Structure 1
Amino acid sequence: MDRRTLLRATVAGAGGLALPFTAWSAAYAAPAQNAAGPYGALQAADANGIQLPAGFTSTVVARSRQTVPGTSYVWHDAPDGGAVIPNGTGWIYVSNAETSSGSGGGASRLVFDASGTVVGASRILSGTNNNCAGGKTPWNTWLSCEEISLGRVWETYPLGGTAVARPAMGRFKHEAAAADPVRRVIYLTEDETNGKFYRFVPTTWGDLSSGTLQVMVAGTATSGSFTWANVPDPDGSPTTTRSQVSGAKSFNGGEGCHYADDTVWFTTKGDNRVWQVNLAGNTYELAYDDNLVSPGTAPLTGVDNITGSTAGDLYVAEDGGNMEICLITPDDKISVFLRITGQSSSEITGPAFTPAGNRLYFSSQRGTTGASSGGITYCVTGPFRT
């Protein structure tokens, strides 16, 4: 029985319950290697310049500095990290603006009805700087993270409410966040060449106003065991958070972060790697390394945002590279899922699936112009496996 068969058998046997760690640790035996994709070869570019497998289609849902169709709201520049949040009648796609406070930094939302039609759009965070990635919470808020020195995590309320800073989550060059409802913590990445991997332990789950910031402590190898240590001074001044704990493991440019079933994955752009942290066993390993791929050349470079599908596949977006979203399956195979043509001066950001798993949203941060004002946000529909 291969790992995907094992994965599906475990899910079926659990009657739809969350997949246990033992199955996931068996399903992902990193690092991933080249293989044909589960959806077949890419077709010629469509009218939007996107190459997709047969049966998939793309649409443009918003463009920077243009009014979102069906609304009066002008979409923000430089769309970056994103997530989908259900709202009872449809869903909301939230998107960060990776620009300065004076140029519209913050985050916005697109509101969709049950058919996937935009029925609203609005700002949910303003006056912040370089909001790059982030993560959604189980209580349907969006954590928008500032990628600046002493940057903050802002908890925003796409379903209604006023955004608030969460300084207890640390002041550093934030990237992404991923919530773990089992251990009741939030994992955080740091975009520095010697960045660290953190977790925030709230005093009360569901309330991020207070808690303990911890950092991963491990050796220098690409796999092994780890522990967590408290960061003494989360405000990062005068000593940066990444410099406060002896033995804290360094990662070269932390980017996207995704949690599912006792496992958290995060990417590092400085060395084109995807890391897998096995939380029940307190071990870590490589899920992908572009220097360890065979046969042929590595398909994924400029690793950045990451998300997961209902089938357990990982989707990793490129910052540059060939402007691709690559797919890593639970049986350790990597392939190209889509490619954006004619936008070589941009990057792909904010991939996120709807709860049903049949729509994938993402953005090209600078579009065809190569400028922040040229951002484009897309939706891809098709026969995604679930």
Structure 2
Amino acid sequence: MLTDRLQWMLNVRRMNRRNLLRTTLAGAGGLALPFTAWSAAYAAPAQNATGPYGALRAADSNGIQLPAGFTSTVIARSRQAVPGTSYVWHDAPDGGAVIPDGSGWIYVSNAEVSSSAGGGASRIRFDSAGAIIGASRILSGTNQNCAGGKTPWNTWLSCEEITLGRVWETYPLGGTAVVRPAMGRFKHEAAAADPVRQVIYLTEDETDGRFYRFVPGTWGNLSTGTLQVLVAGTGTSGSFSWQNVPDPDGSPTRTRYQVSGAKSFNGGEGCHYANDTVWFTTKGDNRVWQVDLQSNTFELAYDDSLVTSGSAPLTGVDNVTGSSYGDLYVAEDGGSMEICVITPDDKISVFLRVTGQGSSELTGPAFTPAGNRLYFSSQRGTSGSSSGGITYCVTGPFRT
């Protein structure tokens, strides 16, 4: 009986670990397993396991190893016209997202280069069948736009990864990009919108970076608001609080040094929100952090040094996204050039591997609304330079 219940637990969809635990304990009065055992099962960092899609096959014609049933397509290359359009795709494609567009969608992508080299962001428009119907620039004249985040009102927050960098709100569906200085000036990396608490979470790519949230004066309007920083102890788990950053402009004192007790994170990277939880990665220690926004606690969802069986499958953590099923997809900056998947039952495995591109990094993973297509880029492709970027689409039987 216990085995059946455990299997049921592992198959429950669209719920994070803590929500799953709460629901089960509240609704299974006769369950024989003690609370301490459940807590241990759903609080440890992810461990190496066979993935939900099975082993990787040999590399396809694009040099990508995928599970059975999945295929890859090249949709754009840096310095070449996007197929079917006259728009030349930008160098060094980085963070990305999918924006619904009628019956189709838009894939947005940052250009992580200087303003003189074409920094900013672009979009590719697709019809309902996934065919390209247009491409254009949505942001120009900015510097080192690394990652970012999609808002519930379908804008794209493009973040500058430079000292005193800014967040730009772009309009993939039409409109002129606007800088959002109230969101703070620091070495921005990624953003994730929380529609429940009506805030935007922000990562900082410094060796002693902080984790922030921006509380807009009015949800949907990012022109004014309050920047706050996470305050907690030095451990890898515990409780936390938020405190206001006195001077979001970060000059002369950088934002990360303005609040006593603000918790330091080693190189903040990707960020993703779902179901009262926000995940973010830190490249300096190769960790995925999980922040429970209901209990105001944080813990490690993954740490390569804590993998107890076999070799750690995920190194060089970077951009992150989630599927509608509840799986977390983490792209590697270097490492083995893989996108790994962390499942809701704390198992981690390799979903895909890009071969022959060891001097690149994987960026911008994002699912279409239906969840059956995954876009991502290899920032420097086979050439190892920013001019060699390649953007892909993977289709197949994703769990939805």
Question: Normalising to structure 2: TM-score of the pair?
Answer: 0.93
Tell me how far apart the structure 1 counterparts of residues 155 and 16 of structure 2 sit (CA, whole Å): 24
Q: 1:138-182 CA deviation, whole Å, 9 max, x = no partner?
A: 000000000000000000000000000000000000000000000
Aligned to 1:333: 347
Tell me how far apart the structure 2 counterparts of residues 366 and 323 of structure 1 sit (CA, whole Å): 12
Tell me how far apart the structure 1 counterparts of residues 112 and 60 of structure 2 sit (CA, whole Å): 28
Q: 1:93 to 1:24 in 2, by over 3 A?
A: farther
Instruction: Kindly indicate whether residue 205 of structure 2 is the aligned counterpart of residue 202 of structure 1.
Output: no
Aligned to 1:5: 8
Q: 1:249-303 CA deviation, whole Å, 9 max, x = no partner?
A: 0000000000000000000000000000000000000000000002111010000
SS in 2 for 1:168: helix
Equivalent in 276, 280, 287 of residue 266 of structure 1: 280
Instruction: Kindly indicate whether residue 46 of structure 2 is the aligned counterpart of residue 32 of structure 1.
Output: yes
AA at the equivalent of 1:379: C
Structure 2, gaps ≥5 residues long: 23-38
Equivalent in 97, 110, 120 of residue 134 of structure 2: 120
Aligned to 2:202: 188
Tell me how far apart the structure 2 counterparts of residues 294 and 252 of structure 1 sit (CA, whole Å): 23
Q: 1:310-340 CA deviation, whole Å, 9 max, x = no partner?
A: 1100000000000000000000000000000
- Deviation for aligned residue 1:210: 0.2
Tell me how far apart the structure 2 counterparts of residues 166 and 21 of structure 1 sit (CA, whole Å): 33
Tell me how far apart the structure 1 counterparts of residues 72 and 186 of structure 2 sit (CA, whole Å): 36
- Deviation for aligned residue 1:89: 2.3
Aligned to 1:15: none
Contact kept? 1:3, 1:330, Cα under 8 Å: no
Identity across the alignment (%): 82
SS in 1 for 2:284: coil
Aligned to 1:344: 358
Contact kept? 1:21, 1:280, Cα under 8 Å: no
Equivalent in 176, 194, 205 of residue 190 of structure 2: 176
Q: 1:325 to 1:373 in 2, by over 3 A?
A: same
AA at the equivalent of 1:161: G
Tell me how far apart the structure 2 counterparts of residues 116 and 96 of structure 1 sit (CA, whole Å): 21
Tell me how far apart the structure 2 counterparts of residues 9 and 301 of structure 1 sit (CA, whole Å): 28
Instruction: Kindly indicate whether residue 50 of structure 2 is the aligned counterpart of residue 47 of structure 1.
Output: no
Q: 1:142 to 1:2 in 2, by over 3 A?
A: farther
Tell me how far apart the structure 2 counterparts of residues 41 and 223 of structure 1 sit (CA, whole Å): 33
Aligned to 2:373: 359
Aligned to 2:165: 151
Residue-pair matches, total: 380
Instruction: Kindly indicate whether residue 250 of structure 2 is the aligned counterpart of residue 236 of structure 1.
Output: yes
SS in 1 for 2:152: coil
Tell me how far apart the structure 2 counterparts of residues 268 and 223 of structure 1 sit (CA, whole Å): 15
Tell me how far apart the structure 2 counterparts of residues 257 and 99 of structure 1 sit (CA, whole Å): 21
Instruction: Kindly indicate whether residue 91 of structure 2 is the aligned counterpart of residue 95 of structure 1.
Output: no
Aligned to 1:23: 20
Greater alpha carbon shift after TM alignment, 234-243 vs 29-38: 29-38
AA at the equivalent of 2:324: T
Aligned to 1:295: 309
Q: 1:7-52 CA deviation, whole Å, 9 max, x = no partner?
A: 75576xxxxxx87962277795330000001101000000000000
Contact kept? 1:7, 1:24, Cα under 8 Å: no
Equivalent in 224, 231, 234 of residue 220 of structure 1: 234
Q: Pairwise CA RMSD of aligned residues? A: 1.5
SS in 2 for 1:102: helix
Contact kept? 1:195, 1:252, Cα under 8 Å: yes
Tell me how far apart the structure 1 counterparts of residues 7 and 99 of structure 2 sit (CA, whole Å): 28
Equivalent in 276, 280, 283 of residue 297 of structure 2: 283
SS in 1 for 2:9: helix
Tell me how far apart the structure 2 counterparts of residues 3 and 68 of structure 1 sit (CA, whole Å): 48
- Deviation for aligned residue 1:6: 3.0
